[in-house]
Amino acid sequence: MKEPKANLYKSSGELVEEIKLEPRIFGVEFNPTLIAQAVRVYLANQRQGTAHTKTRGDVSGGGKKPWKQKGTGRARQGSTRSPLWTKGGVAHGPKNRDYSLKINKLMRRKALFSALSTKVADKKTFILEGLKLPQIKTQMLVKIFKNLKLEKSKLLVLPETDKTIYLSARNIPEVETVLAGDLNAYVVFKNQNIILLKESLAKLNQVFLAGKKKEENTSIKGKIAKTADRKPRLSKITKKDKPKTSKRPEQGLR
């Protein structure tokens, strides 16, 4: 793939320069299968799973037969807790369950990198320099988006929690704010345009790449330690190495 690059803008919409991006995050090959899996896991984990109804066996009461089987002219009934009755149980209703799914950290990060790389390749990623709002003002943020000529849905990636920016963007339609450390493949693909603050790039490297060197070093040290602890294997004795013995029986002393 080509070296990933994105344009750096000021809040006024002026183009500053084209900057290079981290290829391990923004230069990854597109993997639709992995992204689909990560999105499915993310959406499944948002479900509460608390909807629950009682069947006729769970509802208290109804042990006595309402009326005798024959002779009344009524339809036969065995319990007042049948789904046909008021205050009866629910037939085929929802049951509380755990919808959560699991995906390992490496796969989740690769899906995110693939999604970010796709946005960079489609030129839907914008780097913003020095976004600071003196007060909570929605119109100030709307003006910045107009200067960047962004009309469709936007994802604003912040390096750290900024209450002023968050409250200013909360009331704007199709604008979502997220911390760099909380990025995932779903929110990236959900929005058309990705706006990253310049400080967010360093935060992404710190969160997603800082631990890789440590993991590599620990894995190498672990391999060295394992090989050092191993006992040397004894070589197999071949037929040639076996000492020759005489086939004659030993003669006893006379």
In a domain, 200, yes or no: yes
d(CA 252, CA 164): 106
pLDDT at res. 254: 45
Strand residues in the chain grouped as ranges (E): 5-9, 15-20, 125-128, 154-158, 175-179, 193-197
More confident residue, 116 or 151: 116
Report how many domains make up the chain: 2
In a domain, 52, yes or no: yes
Q: Are residues 118 and 12 in the same domain?
A: yes
Q: Are residues 131 and 195 in the same domain?
A: yes
pLDDT in tens, 183-208: 999 999 999 999 999 999 999 999 99
pLDDT in tens, 134-164: 999 999 999 999 999 988 899 999 999 999 9
The answer to whether the beta carbons of residues 211 and 109 sit under 8 Å apart is no
Lowest-confidence region among 62-76, 81-95, 193-207, 237-251: 237-251
- Sign (positive/negative) of CA torsion 187, 190, 196, 202? positive
Q: Are residues 124 and 192 in the same domain?
A: yes
pLDDT at res. 210: 79
Degrees, nearest 5: CA angle 66-68-72: 100
Cβ-based neighbour number of residue 48 at 10 Å: 7
pLDDT at res. 81: 96
pLDDT at res. 130: 82
In a domain, 106, yes or no: yes
pLDDT at res. 137: 92
Assign 219 a pLDDT band (cuts: 50, 70, 90): low
Q: Are residues 129 and 203 in the same domain?
A: yes
What CATH number does the domain containing 184 carry? 3.40.1370.10
Residues in the chain: 254
Q: Are residues 80 and 13 in the same domain?
A: no
Domain that holds residue 201: 5-31+100-208
Q: Are residues 9 and 120 in the same domain?
A: yes
